[in-house]
Structure 1
Amino acid sequence: MAFCNKFGGLMKLSQTGNVPVTSMIGSLRYMSTKLFVGGLSWGTDDQSLREAFAHFGEVVDAKVIIDRESGRSRGFGFVNFSDETAANAAISEMDGKDLNGRNIRVNVANERPKELIVKKMS
C-alpha cells in the first residue's frame, strides 16, 4: 500500500513538472531497500551502523536518529541499501542479533503517515 501511495504521489508531482524523472525513479528504487533498525545501544553512531550492515551489500545511507534536545541517540535508525537482495539478506541475518551489546530489530521501514508529518510541521 505504501508503494502505491508513494508512486501515485510521485506521478502527480511529475505531471506538474516539479519532480525530475531521475528523482522519481530514485525514490521508487529505495522504497523496498530502506530498513528500520530498532533497539540500538546509545553508543551506536552512523558509522558503526553502516559498518555493521556493509557486508550484506552497498549501503547507500545509514542514519541513527538523534534526540534534538539531549543530542543522544533515540535508539533506532535507518539503513538504505542499493538493492533489495542485500536488504533482504540483512533482515534475515541481523534481526534479533547482538550489535554493540543490544539485540536489535531489523525490518523494512514503513513510510511515515502524512498526517504525522503535517502535525509536526504545524
Structure 2
Amino acid sequence: MSIRLYVGNLPKEVERQELAAVFAEAGDSVSTKVITDRKTGKCRGFGFVTVKTDEQADEIIEKYNGFVLKDCALKIEKALPRAKGKEEQGAEGAEGVSSSPSPSAPSTGSRRSKGNSNNNNKSRRVAASTSTDSDAVQPDPRWAQDLEKLKQLLAAQATN
C-alpha cells in the first residue's frame, strides 16, 4: 500500500524534477508531484511525495521535514485521504489537507462560484425547514454559549 506525504512551503518557482532530486536519495520507489496553478503554471506552494511503506514515510518525514529548498523550509507530514464531494474541489480541500467545517454549519467558502451559491443555499434551507426534529440542527459550537444566554434572556422575558 502506498503512502502519500504532503510537502508544504514549496517555493513558487520549483519544478517536479527539482523536488524529485531532493528525494532521490530516499530511493527509486519515491514519486513526486507538484501542485501548480492552472493559469500561471507556477507551483501553488505544496506538493506530494508517494512512498511504498509506512516505515519509509516515517524516515522521509524525519529526514526531510525542515529541509531548506530555495530558502524555504519544507513541511512534510502524512497526507489525509482525499475528500469526496463538489464543495471541496479546491486543491487543498480535495487533498484533505485542510480541515473542513462541520456538515451542519453553513460554509461561507470564498471558493464557491457565484452560479453555485444559490443552489447550495436553497438546498440548505429546504433541508433545515423539512426537519421535524428540533435536535437535528445543532448550533455552531462557536456561538453555542451566546445562544444559550440569549435563550435564557428570552425565557426570563416571557415569564415577566
Query: TM (normalized to structure 1)?
Result: 0.65
Pick one of 50, 59, 63 that aligns with 1:80.
Answer: 50
Contact 1:45 1:64 in 2 (8 A): yes
Q: Secondary structure at the match of 1:78?
A: strand
More helix by share: 1
Contact 1:60 1:80 in 2 (8 A): yes
Give the drift of 1:57.
2.7
Aligned length: 90
Give the drift of 1:100.
2.1
Mapping of residues 29-44 of structure 1, within 5 Å:
29-30=1-2, 33-44=3-14
Verify: 1:52 aligned to 2:5, yes or no: no
Amino acid at match of 2:46: F
Q: CA RMSD in A?
A: 2.0
Pick one of 32, 41, 46 that aligns with 1:62.
Answer: 32
Unaligned runs of 5+ in 1: 1-28
1:33-66 CA-to-partner distances (Å, cap 9, x unmatched) read 2110000012221111111112123344211000
Query: TM (normalized to structure 2)?
Result: 0.51
Partner of 2:78: 108
Q: Secondary structure at the match of 1:114?
A: coil
Larger radius of gyration: 2
Unaligned runs of 5+ in 2: 91-115, 117-160
Give the drift of 1:108.
0.4
